[in-house]
């Protein structure tokens, strides 16, 4: 096995039809702000079951656009789980809002109704503008339960679904899909290369609210309005009653968060294969689940909530490093020496120096317990079953050594 290829924890799957789609887009008239953007948005909205989808430059931009769309600003509070990537909290800070970090379940890493309710006790009378549940590792959070708690405080949910494109779930015997926004105002996706489908860099916001969709779409491109019916300055917009063909109005302070046509072409090609990619990830996860009991009790997979049929962006195990007599660094380095890449998802955001300086020291025990044990093993749609056997075998050797 010495010459076996290195297995990263995550990697894109790019096939010949993806290359052909990008090449065709490169030969087209529009490399950006052209027809493939609308095509990708329409196809994605249909796939997840939302009324609207707005493509943008990356997942962080999607989250920021969600905050902009909801009018989050100075003096407001949002609640986000601390067990996530920093962007979930940063998107509110960009707007001058404060972040209250919720703890998570120590075994799943997910924010729960109880941890959300506890976080609400630390708001201190400030207005709660939004709650941002994270579908960690691709596993769906309990949206109905979270919505009940958030709604009682007058706050909408904004789903951080960066890990969860393709995830399905069942609540009250009703099949749903992450992104359909049945319980949330907006859902935000990422198409980074390690995600289940990729556009290189890219993101998407979905919503069922017509006004929110229009606002997010305009803020994605400098807050510019091009529809004559919505112009507010007749001198700029019209020659008599006829609209000026060059006219546009900047009606708000927006950003350049556009996703180019060439990347939307890749997204369309990848989206057509999403079900295959998700099914393959589930098959690989099943193989892990068949083999990992041999390493118990030192190692156990993070369990999926029973409501979630996860797209499995990550395959995470919880390891008792103390009982193994090794640090996580030692385990990761030993695995890397065997050609296996691993990663840690995530350092709790409340422990990051920026947020510690802002809010002081905090103790969130569930997140700390999860972080202390978690390790992301390789999971890619292009992996073979034998690759899983190789990972589990190497992990057993490292922990047994």
What is the tens place of the pLDDT at every residue in 328-351? Answer: 999 999 999 999 999 999 999 999
pLDDT of residue 307: 84
d(CA 360, CA 122): 13
Q: Of residues 47, 129, 195, 338, which has the active-site annotation? A: 195
pLDDT of residue 304: 86
Query: Taking residues 239-261, what's their average pLDDT?
Result: 95
Cis ω before 346 (30° cut-off from 0): yes
Query: What confidence category does residue 323 fall into, taking pLDDT thresholds of 50, 70 and 90?
Result: very high
Strand partners, 277: none
Closest listed residue to residue 195, CA positions, set 165, 160, 159, 169: 165
Query: Taking residues 62-91, what's their average pLDDT?
Result: 98
- Considering the four listed CATH numbers 3.40.50.300, 3.40.640.10, 3.40.50.11540, 3.10.180.10, the one that applies to the domain covering 16-271 is 3.40.640.10
Cβ within 8 Å of residue 114, ≥6 positions away: none
Query: What confidence category does residue 72 fall into, taking pLDDT thresholds of 50, 70 and 90?
Result: very high
What is the tens place of the pLDDT at every residue in 163-207? Answer: 999 999 999 999 999 999 999 999 999 999 999 999 999 999 999
Q: What is the pTM of this model?
A: 0.97
Query: Taking residues 322-327, what's their average pLDDT?
Result: 96
The question of whether 273 is a catalytic residue gets the answer no
Does the structural domain 274-400 have CATH classification 2.120.10.80?
A: no
Looking at every residue in the chain, the average pLDDT score rounds to 97
What is the tens place of the pLDDT at every residue in 113-124? Answer: 999 999 999 999
Reduce the DSSP state of residue 243 to 3 states and report it.
strand
Question: Where along the chain do the CATH 3.40.640.10 domains lie?
Answer: 16-271
What is the tens place of the pLDDT at every residue in 108-160? Answer: 999 999 999 999 999 999 999 999 999 999 999 999 999 999 999 999 999 99
pLDDT of residue 401: 58
Query: Taking residues 24-29, what's their average pLDDT?
Result: 96
pLDDT of residue 293: 97
Query: Taking residues 261-269, what's their average pLDDT?
Result: 98
pLDDT of residue 44: 98
Reduce the DSSP state of residue 329 to 3 states and report it.
helix
Strands 77-81 and 128-131, sheet pairing: parallel
Percentage of the residues of the chain whose pLDDT score is greater than 70: 99
Question: Where along the chain do the CATH 3.90.1150.10 domains lie?
Answer: 274-400
């Amino acid at each position: 096995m010495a010459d076996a290829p290195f297995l990263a924890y995550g990697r894109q799957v790019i096939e010949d039809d993806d290359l052909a789609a990008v090449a065709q887009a490169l030969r087209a008239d529009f490399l950006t702000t052209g027809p493939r953007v609308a095509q990708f948005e329409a196809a994605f909205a249909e796939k997840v079951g939302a009324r609207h989808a707005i493509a943008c430059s990356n997942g962080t931009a999607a989250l920021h656009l969600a905050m902009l769309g909801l009018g989050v600003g100075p003096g407001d509070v949002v609640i986000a789980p601390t067990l996530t990537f920093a962007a979930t909290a940063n998107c509110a800070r960009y707007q001058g809002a404060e972040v209250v970090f919720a703890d998570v379940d120590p075994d799943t890493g997910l924010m729960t109704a109880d941890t959300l309710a506890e976080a609400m006790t630390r708001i201190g009378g400030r207005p709660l503008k939004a709650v941002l549940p994270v579908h960690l590792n691709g596993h769906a959070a309990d949206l109905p339960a979270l919505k009940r708690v958030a709604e009682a405080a007058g706050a909408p949910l904004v789903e951080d679904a960066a890990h969860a494109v393709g995830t399905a779930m069942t609540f009250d015997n009703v099949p749903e899909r992450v992104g359909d926004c049945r319980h949330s105002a907006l859902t935000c996706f990422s198409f980074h290369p390690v995600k289940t489908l990729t556009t290189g860099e890219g993101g998407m916001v979905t919503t069922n609210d017509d006004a929110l969709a229009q606002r997010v779409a305009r803020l994605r491109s400098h807050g510019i309005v091009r529809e004559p019916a919505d112009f507010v300055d007749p001198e700029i917009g019209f020659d008599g009653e006829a609209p000026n063909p060059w006219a546009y109005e900047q009606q708000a302070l927006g950003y350049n968060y556009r996703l180019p046509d060439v990347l939307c072409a890749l997204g369309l090609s990848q989206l057509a294969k999403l079900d295959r990619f998700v099914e393959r990830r589930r098959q690989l996860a099943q193989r892990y689940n068949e083999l990992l009991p041999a390493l118990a009790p030192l190692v156990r997979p993070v369990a999926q909530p029973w409501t979630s049929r996860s797209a499995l962006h990550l395959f995470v195990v919880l390891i008792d490093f103390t009982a193994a007599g090794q640090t996580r660094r030692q385990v990761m380095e030993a695995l890397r020496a065997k050609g296996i890449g691993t990663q840690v998802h995530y350092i709790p955001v409340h422990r990051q120096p920026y947020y510690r300086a802002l809010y002081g020291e905090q103790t969130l025990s569930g997140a700390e317990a999860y972080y202390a044990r978690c390790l992301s093993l390789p999971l890619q749609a292009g992996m073979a079953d034998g690759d899983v056997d190789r990972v589990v075998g190497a992990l057993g050797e490292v922990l047994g050594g």
